[in-house]
Amino acid sequence: MAVVSDEKEKIVPDMPRPAVYRFVQEALDALIAKHKFKKGDKDDSDLTENFNKQCNKLNSAKYLGTMEHSYDEMAPRLAYLLLHFTQHTYLVNSILSDAYAACTNLQSRTTVFNELMRSIDWGRISIFSFGGGPAADVVGVLMWLHRFGFQTKVQAAIADTCKQWDATTNSVFKMMQFESEDDNAKPSPQQKYTHNLWKRMDGGIKYFNTSLKSPTTLFKSGSKEMVAIGQADIITLPFALSSVADAPETSNALQGMLNAIKPGALLVYLDHTEGGQTELINNLAYWCGMRRIYFMKEMNYAMPKYEDAEILDNYAKDLDEPVPRESKVTAIVYKKPSGYSYDRRMKMSRREQNNIKQAQIRLKKSNPDFKLFRPSFY
């Protein structure tokens, strides 16, 4: 069995650029085939009808997160993969890229991300996602690591209200690995890209079936969730608060999570622009000693052109509206301060420097008052 190698290969100029859309289409093909095989029924009309119905229902930016709808059935999970998975990955990738650029000084090669960079250079980081569903934000972090050329292993854990995401996500991640019965087979640029993302994972993704609305079990002292949060270098809150911000238990649950975050760790908050969730997270983060190091009150994001919507025509052709390609969200990155300093002047690669420079130029164009943070303060 042939597997992809780490050797650098020249990509033919006219080959299509690797696209998450293409991977999503392949994932949907495999998951539907697996579902039909498990049921032992060649007639998938019921699944197809329910899938189309769920797609039209979830085809809104309101459902970018997984807390606004029930995903216990197969059809809505497939609909989420089609409609929102790709955009979710790019949002997280973009936020981390811009935040890292905004918090890094190329002249001194110092960064506010110093503790995270130390873990990356040591070869292992940990991610905890609250409300991550099919782990789109984990893929977004993997894309960010690949983009900047960071070679590190990633451990990931997710807490979500739907326990069925576990099997779906593990199936999706397993498919990212390139395998072939032909020993001489070579991966396409698409297969090589997804395999390079997959091989950064250190084992499977751990799932916790929990909710911010039921914090008793979640934040019990010594619980597995609390241990995972305390070990994480990056904690993500992708559209998790907008659906529970008004619940009376949310503040206590969120405060317990913020207190458990270790010094130097990052909290990546991503949510809708409307609602009281941003004020809630800002207030609680302040009282829990978190520093806000990156803030975009209204981040307008459009999918890159190489994510051609026609790739999804096989599944999206029956939609009343096209698959969403633009979104407006609030993006914030917080950091739990620590007194640790880390010098990586000799470790910052040319690829990393170029990506930082491009992101800083982009930030200055969209934000004329953009200024670099001074890492010594954080």
Q: Is the confidence at residue 215, as pLDDT, over 60?
A: no
Alpha helices (runs of H) in the chain, residue ranges in sequence order = 20-39, 45-58, 74-80, 86-102, 114-122, 136-148, 165-175, 189-198, 215-218, 224-231, 250-260, 277-287, 313-316, 350-366
* pLDDT attached to residue 373: 60
CA distance 378 to 374: 8
For the stretch 219-258, pLDDT in tens is: 666 778 888 999 999 999 998 888 776 666 777 778 888 8
* pLDDT attached to residue 161: 86
CA distance 331 to 239: 10
Yes or no: say if 197 and 143 are a contact pair by the CB < 8 Å rule. yes
pTM score over 0.95? no
Of all residues in the chain, what percent carry a pLDDT higher than 70? 84
CA distance 81 to 173: 13
Q: Is the confidence at residue 374, as pLDDT, over 60?
A: no
Q: For tokens 């690669």, what's the residue?
A: 349
DSSP string, 220-274: STT-HHHHHHHH-SEEEEES-STTTTTSTTHHHHHHHHHHHSPTT-EEEEEEESS
Most distant CA atoms of the chain, gap in Å: 63
Q: Is the confidence at residue 261, as pLDDT, over 60?
A: yes
Q: Is the confidence at residue 141, as pLDDT, over 50?
A: yes
What average pLDDT does range 297-306 have in this prediction?
Answer: 86
Q: Is the confidence at residue 269, as pLDDT, over 80?
A: yes
Q: Is the confidence at residue 14, as pLDDT, over 60?
A: no
Q: Which of the pair, 37 or 94, is modelled with greater confidence?
A: 94
For the stretch 121-131, pLDDT in tens is: 999 999 999 88
| pLDDT band at residue 330 under the 50/70/90 scheme | very high
Residues 6+ apart with CB under 8 A from 11: 189
Q: For tokens 């110093």, what's the residue?
A: 114
Angle at 242 between CA 31 and CA 231, to 5 degrees: 70
| pLDDT band at residue 302 under the 50/70/90 scheme | confident
| pLDDT band at residue 370 under the 50/70/90 scheme | low
For residue 122, report the phi and psi dihedrals to the nearest 5 degrees.
-75, -15
Q: Is the confidence at residue 342, as pLDDT, over 60?
A: yes
| pLDDT band at residue 333 under the 50/70/90 scheme | very high
Lowest-pLDDT range of 19-33, 268-282, 355-369: 355-369
What average pLDDT does range 303-329 have in this prediction?
Answer: 85
CA distance 43 to 164: 23
CA distance 325 to 59: 11
Q: Is the confidence at residue 65, as pLDDT, over 90?
A: no
* pLDDT attached to residue 32: 84
Q: Which helix (H) or strand (E) holds 156?
A: strand 153-160
* pLDDT attached to residue 35: 76
For the stretch 23-57, pLDDT in tens is: 888 888 888 887 776 666 555 567 888 888 898 88
* pLDDT attached to residue 153: 95
CA distance 180 to 201: 20
Instruction: Compute how many other C-beta atoms are within 10 angstroms of the C-beta atom of residue 302.
Output: 11
Mean pLDDT is highest, among 69-83, 241-255, 308-322, for 69-83
**Amino acid in the structure at residue 208:** F
**Mean pLDDT of the chain, nearest integer:** 83
For the stretch 163-212, pLDDT in tens is: 899 988 988 888 888 877 777 788 888 888 999 999 999 988 999 887 76
Q: Which of the pair, 132 or 333, is modelled with greater confidence?
A: 333
What average pLDDT does range 289-295 have in this prediction?
Answer: 91
